Amino acid sequence: MSDISASFADSRFSHLFQDALYSQPSLSSLRTHVMTSTPASPTRPSPNDLQSHLYASFLQRKTADVALRISGTWHAVYRLHRVILIQAGFFQSLFTSGFSESKAKHSGHRADAEYIDIVFDDVNITRAAFEVCIARLYGGGPPLWISPSMIPTPTCPLTPPFASGGPDYTPQQPGSAFPTSLDISSSPDLPPGHHPATPRFLLSLLATATFLSMPSVASQALSAILRTVGPHTVVRYLNFAIGRGIGPPDEAVIDSDQYEHEDSPAVGLEQVAELIQEEDASFDSSVDVTPRDTTPVGSGCGFRH
């Protein structure tokens, strides 16, 4: 009798155990539930949050995996991120062609960022234009401002400074000279946080964006140039188009807040560069990337569509 009772008890326990086992959700169903269920509160960053994070890292020079050591009309080191730079054709070729991987040596300087020497023999590439281009890759950078005095209007086809001021003269409305897609303001006064886009800066921006293979920025610069052709700009623009470069700063702005020193930073990007002395501009532990064609970018190609 005891054997029968023990057998019955074992059988009942076995059934209970199997019922309990098969009543539990399977591993695959648990995995499906975890992957498809919506969390009670959002935990993933939005694209805007991610972009803001990357731009902040750029401004603060944090978590960089590459350091560009620039030698040109200015000398500086920029601590940047490959995954961002690779959006530009120049850097895509540099980082994916195997050139840097085959010849680069990791530097022992600061956070083990790889140092790469880039020599800009083209004097049309200025610090401010380069910094604006890099900031655009990060989805930021200062909006541009163009003085209304540079913009021809239907009533002032030779630009407002040549207007007679007669009864038919209508001042240009602030911000209406450029489409919003260009991110360019033409308000009467320089707005805070905007970079003054003088004719010389616009030409430098076009040259720099062309060199770095950034079509969107080059298109923005070219559109602004074509909309500001007038008596004060036409000679400089034509000289650039025939290969004479961006030229010296205008005398009219030398004493103003728009004066363009060769090493003047872009507005809002004053801290992204580490300025260095010319004699410190190269080290053996980096890749030397010198442009193969040192002809000024403006040589005959500045205004082609």
Domains along the chain with CATH numbers = 59-289 (3.30.710.10)
What single string gives the DSSP state of each residue in the chain?
Answer: -HHHHHHHHHHHHHHHHHHHHHHSPPHHHHHHHHHHSPPSS--SPPHHHHHHHHHHHHHHT-S-SEEEEEESSSEEEEEE-HHHHTTSHHHHHHHHSSHHHHH-----STTTPEEEEEE---TT--HHHHHHHHHHHTT--PPEE--GGG---SS-TT-GGG----TT--PPPTT-SS-GGG-EE--SS--TTPEE--HHHHHHHHHHHHHHT-HHHHHHHHHHHHTT-STTTHHHHHHHHBT--S-SPPGGGTTSTT---TTPPPTT-TTSEEE--GGGS--TTSEEE--S--S-TTBTTTT--
Q: Please give the average per-residue pLDDT across 282-301, as a whole number.
A: 49
**In 3D, which of 188, 76, 58 has the Cα closest to residue 127?**
76
Query: How much is the mean pLDDT over the chain?
Result: 76
Q: Name the pTM for this structure.
A: 0.72
Give per-residue pLDDT as tens, 140-156. 999 999 988 888 777 77
Which range in 31-35, 236-240, 294-298 is most confidently predicted, on average pLDDT?
236-240
Give per-residue pLDDT as tens, 171-189. 445 444 566 666 788 788 8
Higher pLDDT, 136 or 227: 136
